[in-house]
């Protein structure tokens, strides 16, 4: 997939820009890169202009921060749209950390949105314990390296059926995670630890919103996503059978169907 480069907020970002039509911006999760969306880039770009950046520090994008807040990532996306001269409202689709960023994009750049898609994510902030654990992990990744994080996270990312019968997806994800710099992982962990709780703001998010979640997701459970859909004024939840946290990679056809249905009827 051809990657382009552009300087945004003094950082050189890499991104995919393909297809024509209404714009969909895909935001990857942690600690991953745009390639987790490869099946969606292919399917959606038949009818849409699809942008899929590597967030600062991740994948092929530059970035050397000690901490990156979800707001900073969201501001980078607004900067990307500015640099590309995109004024029309877009649909933003984020998975997990990409979802945390999508909420902040809505909060600070909401006029640029016509629709929102949040996959395998949550609205609540970290508990005090979870935040403390992230800060501990941020310190340990700097000494133990990214591969250690990948090994710890991988079993939690996939449905049992994916772990059993789709080992190529698991291995490809391991390679992406192990290649992310430890400083980038630490910076995102510190940012996620202090992300705001969006629960009380959900009722105000009145643009069409789609929630997508894997039925075997242990990190961001489907029931929590269902509750988010109920709290939003104009949302539907699309559950994905036989998928865990990485639903777009595990069950691409099912996820693509949900996304394309939403995009063709709601935004």
**In sequence order, which ranges of the chain are alpha helices (DSSP H)?**
38-44, 70-83, 97-109, 128-144, 146-157, 160-165, 167-179, 182-193, 222-231, 247-250, 252-266
Nearer to ligand MLT, 6 or 178 (CB): 178
Q: Which is nearer to ligand MLT, 43 or 185 (CB)?
A: 185
Burial class of 232 by CB neighbour count within 10 A (0 to 12, 13 to 18, 19+): buried
Least distance in angstroms from the C-beta of 21 to ligand MLT: 27
96 vs 251, beta carbon nearer ligand MLT: 96
Q: Smallest gap, in angstroms, from Cβ of residue 47 to ligand MLT?
A: 27
Distance in angstroms (rounded) separating the CA atoms of residues 93 and 211: 10
Cβ nearer to ligand MLT, comparing 22 with 158: 158
What length does the chain have? Answer: 267
β pairing state of 113-119 and 209-214: parallel
In whole angstroms, how close is the CB of 264 to ligand MLT at the nearest point?
27
What 8-state DSSP symbol labels residue 88?
S
Output 79 or 98, the one with its CB closest to ligand MLT: 98
CB of 159 to ligand MLT, least distance (A): 14
Residues that bind ligand MLT (CB under 6 A): 29-30, 96-97, 192, 219, 245
In the complex, the smallest distance separating the C-beta of residue 82 from ligand MLT, rounded to whole angstroms, is 25
């Amino acid at each position: 997939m051809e990657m382009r480069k552009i300087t945004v907020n003094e950082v050189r970002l890499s991104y995919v820009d393909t297809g024509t039509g209404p714009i969909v911006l895909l935001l990857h999760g942690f600690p991953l890169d745009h390639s987790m969306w490869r099946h969606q880039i292919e399917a959606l770009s038949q009818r849409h202009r699809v942008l899929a950046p590597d967030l600062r520090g991740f994948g092929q994008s530059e970035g050397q921060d000690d901490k990156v807040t979800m707001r900073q990532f969201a501001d980078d996306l607004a900067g990307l749209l500015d640099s590309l001269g995109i004024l029309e409202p877009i649909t933003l689709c984020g998975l997990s950390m990409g979802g945390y960023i999508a909420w902040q994009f809505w909060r600070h750049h909401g006029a640029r949105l016509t629709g929102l898609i949040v996959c395998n994510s949550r609205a609540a902030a970290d508990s005090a314990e979870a935040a403390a654990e992230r800060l501990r992990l941020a310190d340990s990744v700097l000494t133990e390296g990214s591969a250690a994080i990948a090994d710890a996270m991988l079993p939690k990312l996939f449905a049992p059926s994916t772990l059993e019968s789709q080992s190529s997806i698991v291995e490809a994800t391991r390679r992406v995670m192990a290649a992310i710099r430890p400083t980038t992982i630490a910076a995102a962990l510190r940012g996620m630890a202090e992300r705001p709780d969006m629960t009380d703001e959900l009722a105000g998010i009145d643009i069409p919103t789609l929630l997508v979640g894997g039925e075997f997701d242990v990190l961001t459970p489907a029931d929590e996503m269902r509750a988010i859909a109920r709290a939003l004024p104009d949302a539907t939840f699309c559950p994905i059978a036989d998928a865990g946290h990485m639903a777009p990679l595990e069950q691409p056809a099912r996820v693509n169907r949900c996304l394309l249905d939403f995009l063709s009827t709601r935004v």
